[in-house]
Amino acid sequence: MSITTLKRAARESVSGLPRAFWWLWASTLINRLGAFVATFMALYLTLDRGYSASYAGLVASLHGLGGVISSVAGGVMTDRLGRRPTLLIAQVSTAVSVAVLGFMQHPAAIAAVAFLVGAASNASRPAVQAMMADIVRPEDRMRAFSLNYWAINLGFAISAAGAGFIAEYSYLAGFLGEAVLTLTCAVLIYAKLPESRPSQAPSAPGKAVEPEVGMGTVLRDGRFMGVVGLSFLISLIFQQGYVGLPVAMGADGFSAADFGLAMAVNGVLIVALQLPVTRYIEHRDPRRLLILSSLLAGYGFGLTAFAGSVAVYALTVCVWTLAEIVNAPTQTGLVVRLSPVHGRGRYQGVYTMSWSAAALIAPLMSGWVIDRFGAEWLWGACAVLGTVAGLGYWLLMRTLPEEREATGAAAPAPDREAVTA
User: How many structural domains does the chain have?
Assistant: 2
* CA-CA-CA-CA dihedral for 303, 309, 310, 315, to nearest 10: -30
Domain extent for 116: 19-196
Instruction: Classify residue 204: in a domain, yes or no.
Output: no
Q: Is residue 421 part of a domain?
A: no
Q: Does 209 map to a domain?
A: no
- Verify that 148 and 270 share a domain, yes or no: no
Q: What is the pLDDT of residue 132?
A: 92
222 and 120 housed in the same domain: no
45 and 166 in a single domain? The answer is yes
Distance CA 167, CA 191 (A): 32
Q: Tell me, what's the pLDDT at 406?
A: 40
Same domain, 272 and 341: yes
Domain check: are 224 and 319 in the same one? yes
pLDDT along the chain (421 residues), means of 10: 56 78 92 78 79 80 88 91 94 95 93 93 91 90 87 80 75 90 93 85 54 81 91 92 82 78 84 83 84 95 91 93 91 87 89 87 82 89 95 81 42 30 24
What is the pLDDT at residue 211?
64
Residue 165 lies in a domain: yes
Residues 187 and 303 reside in one and the same domain: no
SS3 letters across the chain: CCHHHHHHHHHHHHCCCCHHHHHHHHHHHHHHHCCCHHHHHHHHHHHHCCCCHHHHHHHHHHHHHHHHHHHHHHHHHHHHCCHHHHHHHHHHHHHHHHHHHCCCCCHHHHHHHHHHHHHHHHCHHHHHHHHHHHHCCHHHHHHHHHHHHHHHHHHHHHHHHHHHHHHHHCHHHHHHHHHHHHHHHHHHHHHHCCCCCCCCCCCCCCCCCCCCCCHHHHHHCHHHHHHHHHHHHHHHHHHCCCCHHHHHHHHCCCCHHHHHHHHHHHHHHHHHHHHHHHHHHCCCCHHHHHHHHHHHHHHHHHHHHHCCCHHHHHHHHHHHHHHHHHHHHHHHHHHHHHCCHHHHHHHHHHHHHHHHHHHHHHHHHHHHHHHHHCHHHHHHHHHHHHHHHHHHHHHHCCCCCCCHHHCCCCCCCCCHHHCCC
316 shares a domain with 275: yes
**Domain check: are 155 and 271 in the same one?**
no
- The predicted structure's pLDDT at residue 416: 28
**Shared domain check, 257 and 126:** no
Give the model's pLDDT for residue 303.
94
| In a domain? residue 315 | yes
417 in any annotated domain: no
Within a domain: 183? yes
Dihedral sign computed on CA atoms, order 241, 242, 245, 246: positive
Domain boundary among 196, 226, 260: 196
Task: Specify the pTM.
Answer: 0.79
Q: Are residues 136 and 250 in the same domain?
A: no
Q: Is 120 a domain residue?
A: yes
Q: How far is CA 326 from CA 136, 287, 317, 385, in A?
A: 20, 12, 14, 17
- Residue 412 to residue 306: CA distance in whole angstroms: 48
182 and 228 both lie in a single domain: no
Judgement on whether residues 80 and 150 belong to the same structural domain of the protein: yes
CATH number for the domain spanning 308: value is 1.20.1250.20
Which of 111, 107, 120 minimizes the C-alpha distance to 66? 120
Point out the domain boundary residue: 196, 226, 242: 196
